Amino acid sequence: MGTMALAIEGRPASRNQAIETIHAALDAGVRYLDTAWSYYLPSQPGTGEPEDMGYGEYLVRDALATWYGPSEVKDEVLVATKTGWLRTLDGQGRYGWQADARPETMIANAKESARRLGVDTLDLLYSHCNDPQVPYEDQMGALKQLVDEGVAKAVGISRIDNEDIETAHRILGPSLVAVQNQFSPVHRDPEHTMETCERLGLAFVCWSPLGGFLDPFNEHLFDRFREVAARHGCSYQRVTLAWELAQYDRLFTIPSARNSREIRDSFQATELTLAKGEIAYLDGAAR
């Protein structure tokens, strides 16, 4: 489950509702929660006030602390966070993003993330983007330092191309376990980074697997998914996620949800098996 929708613009007015949504995900069987240092809303122009930062990480921490699942099940939950990006607010009230992947910033923010999440070591830490102002080798060096210091058990990279994957793999070796890139019928991995992940044995984690909610997209790209969903008697979102899961055996989706119903519906995609003909039909819709 992705938690961005619970922490940025459009997030539930009630913090309790956000935590209940994460509880519903855990109850359904979700065992991977994805958050980020930058999942917050600045209250002042710029990058906001210190008390704004870490909203999404605090949500995940508090949701896990108040979930009544068995302790042995809690140990199965993997929490991923990200470093190297900030939220911004301009003078006209518009939110945005700002890369800051200087090694010293990445390291300081990652250590702050561990404190917010209430852990000694992060399960999985992503570099949130490739900051064009910083050599990518230096950004990966910061991740390596965080692994060497025990701040993170494993690391991933996000919003990157095949050259970046090769660079990260060379520097990080086996501590690099995942690539998080956009993938959905709206954005069909034009760089073929999923193929590079398969060759290197890396997990591919697709963000915005249902198209995303911040940017408009062509809804007709989901027409075939609605047709298949009607035959299965379920939502087209569930069919979309099942189609994505069929692409690669180490692919994970992180759909966002703002309420319990949405995340329960999304998780049921793990129980939906599409026929080969259906997958081929849907492949055509995504091109």
Provide the pLDDT for residue 2.
97
Provide the pLDDT for residue 213.
82
Classify residue 225: in a domain, yes or no.
no
Tally of domains within the chain: 1
Classify residue 186: in a domain, yes or no.
yes
Provide the pLDDT for residue 74.
87
Provide the pLDDT for residue 215.
82
Classify residue 226: in a domain, yes or no.
no
pLDDT block averages, 10 residues each, the chain of length 287 = 96 95 97 97 95 96 94 91 97 95 98 97 98 98 98 98 98 98 96 98 97 89 97 98 97 95 97 97 78
Q: Is 55 in the active site? A: no
Provide the pLDDT for residue 73.
87
The residue range of the domain holding 158 is 4-220+241-273
Provide the pLDDT for residue 127.
98
Cite the beta strand spans of the chain per DSSP E. 32-34, 78-83, 85-89, 95-99, 122-127, 152-158, 176-182, 203-207, 251-253
Classify residue 97: in a domain, yes or no.
yes
- Catalytic residue (one of 32, 39, 136, 236): 39
Phi-psi region of 48 (alpha: psi -120 to 50; beta: other; left: phi over 0): left
Provide the pLDDT for residue 216.
87
For the chain, state the CA radius of gyration: 18
Classify residue 57: in a domain, yes or no.
yes
Classify residue 284: in a domain, yes or no.
no
Classify residue 89: in a domain, yes or no.
yes
> Full-prediction pTM beyond 0.85?
yes
SS3 114: helix
Classify residue 76: in a domain, yes or no.
yes
Q: The CATH number of the domain where 188 resides is what? A: 3.20.20.100
Residues 284 and 224: their CA atoms lie apart, in Å, by 9
